[in-house]
Amino acid sequence: MFGQRHIDHNPGTHYRSERVSAVNGQYFFSTREGTLEGPYFNRTDAEREIAFYIRRMKQANEIIESRAF
C-alpha cells in the first residue's frame, strides 16, 4: 500500500503525515496527487473510502497500461 509508483521520483526525504483530517465535523482524506476527497460523516467512512480510492487508481493504471502499445 505504501510502495513507490514507477512514476514517482527516486527516493529522497519522505515525510509521513496524517491522511485523514477533520474540518468542521466532516472528514476528508488527502491523496498523493494533492486532492482532498470528501466530505465523509466519520473517520471510519473516510478510511474505507481511502481503500476504494486506491483500488480505483490501480484499476485505472492497469487499463491505461493494457492499452499502451
Q: Is residue 48 part of a domain?
A: yes
46 inside domain: yes
Q: Is 10 a domain residue?
A: no
pLDDT tens digits for range 16-45: 568 999 999 999 999 998 999 999 999 999
Predicted local confidence at residue 18, as pLDDT: 83
- Which pLDDT score, from 0 to 100, does residue 14 have? 47
Exposed, middle or buried, 4 (CB in 10 Å: 0-12/13-18/19+)? Answer: exposed
Query: What distance in Å separates the CA atoms of residue 27 and residue 38, rounded to the nearest whole number?
Result: 7
Q: Per the structure, how many domains does the chain have? A: 1
- Residue 43 structural domain: 20-67
Alpha helix (H) ranges present in 1-69? 43-67
Please give the mean pLDDT across all residues of the chain: 85
| Spatial contact of 38 and 27, defined as CB atoms under 8 Å apart | yes
Give the three-class secondary structure for 56: helix
Question: Is 28 contained in some domain?
Answer: yes
* Residue 14: inside a domain: no
Flag whether 9 is in a domain. Answer: no
